[in-house]
Amino acid sequence: MVKLSSTEEENTEFLSSLWDTYKYLILLSLVLLGAGIFGWENWSQNRISNLQDSATCMNLSLIH
- Percent of the chain's residues with pLDDT above 70: 94
Contact assessment for residue 2 and residue 14, using Cβ atoms and an 8 Å cutoff: yes
Contacts of 54 (CB under 8 A, 6+ apart): none
Model confidence at 56, pLDDT cuts 50, 70, 90, reads: confident
Q: How far apart are CA 54 and CA 49, in angstroms?
A: 9
Single pTM value for the model: 0.64
Give me the pLDDT at residue 21, please.
97
